[in-house]
Amino acid sequence: MQPDPFKRLIRWGLCAWGLCQPVSIAGANIATGAVLAGLVGYALRSRSFPALRTPLEKPLGLYLAAALLACVFAQDPGESLRHMNTEVHRVALFYLFSAAFAVEAAPAVLGWWAAGFLVTAVIGLLQVFFWHALGPFPENAGPYYKWCEVPHFWQWIWFSSRAHGTINAVSYGEIMGLALVGGASLVAVRRRLGVAVGRSAMAFCALVCLAWVLSGTRGAWLGALVSLGLLRALLAPRRAVLELAGASLAAGMLVLVAGRMRNAGALDAVSFTCRWELWDVALRMFRDHPVSGVGIHNFGAMFPRYHSVPFLWQQTWGDPHNLWLAQLAERGVVGFTALCLLLGAMIRQSWTRFRRSASFLSLWCLTWLVGFLVMNLTESAFQVAMLWMPTMILYAWMERAEEKIAAS
């Protein structure tokens, strides 16, 4: 019997998405189109469609309703409604990949996703290496730069004191945190998968960890450390207590590394001092608009009213660099509650499935989601496609995989 060509297209699309996601959001979107085409073809050919029931139905519905409420009562409803498609896209993508994983398990996705993580990790490491080996990109390119036809582009891509891959250093650090937690989860269950897989996972963790540190992203450091600490506590609770001091020491060392990198010229524009100012503005917006906020994507337009003096070199800021305060400022207590219910439901379901099977995917999803909450204290990572996309899709993959484990 010939394999279903549409199932094959779904599998290829999922693998291509895994390879592209850490490197290029455009590539990931193209791969998503292939997944959608495969699902449509499969549904038309088989005259059936996979069930889309999920424990997240109500939390997702409440999240969309809260977002729409924030748009309707926004200070600039037109601006908010223009960005409502992002919220719909988030939910639609979750259901799309949930259906895809229900049709095609595609275990090869993990290998391709790991390859994508490795590609972007190597790019980040090379950026820092070239910075220190050749020095900052000069205004007048010397002999070893003549191969660069577009100097400023290559300056951004290949010369940086902070590893950032093909995106900004903050999102890059968070992506590397996701990869590190996934690799550590794979190492934790290596006995079920064989010696070769365990050794490969350890090598993967070593490379990704180096890129994660060189990103200089403190929020990503703290969040991933929380994830790794939770992983250790879940698998060895007694030893985890004894190792807490060691983890604290490691966190302290990372703070010192951050200070050293800043002194080396990698000073992030959004420093702690800057964040305090932004957080104060967000809280004042929330106090003035407590129920539904100022509206989705209205923070930037409202910022000058609350901070009339140009801040650093910018007249306005589009985000307070804290997901929770951003939700309160732009969506009020309604949107904040809806987000907490959504992420809380994802963590609860991950925990339930981990207790049932202790599988790799449930362990990765659970530990990542908890650390993700911490990462969002210094960034609005859930509003960044490079972060919310893998988070939602990882959960969808875990949910469908656990259903198949329970049915077997």
- Residue 306 pLDDT: 86
Beta strands in 128-285 (DSSP E): none
Q: Are 20 and 30 in contact (CB under 8 A)?
A: yes
- Residue 358 pLDDT: 86
- Which 3 state secondary structure label does DSSP give 314? strand
Which ranges of the chain have pLDDT less than 50? 139-151, 240-242, 245, 260, 263-270
- Residue 268 pLDDT: 47
- Residue 145 pLDDT: 47
* Contacts with 85 (C-beta within 8 Å, 6 or more apart), sequence order: none
**Tokens read off for 324:** 């929770």
Q: Are 359 and 405 in contact (CB under 8 A)?
A: yes
Nearest-10 crossing angle of helices 360-375, 218-235:
140
> pLDDT, tens digit, for every residue of 197-217?
878 888 999 999 999 989 888
- Which 3 state secondary structure label does DSSP give 50? coil
- Residue 371 pLDDT: 95
From the number of C-beta atoms within 10 Å of its C-beta (0-12, 13-18, 19+), residue 288 rates as: middle
pTM here is: 0.88
What span, in angstroms and rounded, lies between the C-alpha atoms of 391 and 57? 17
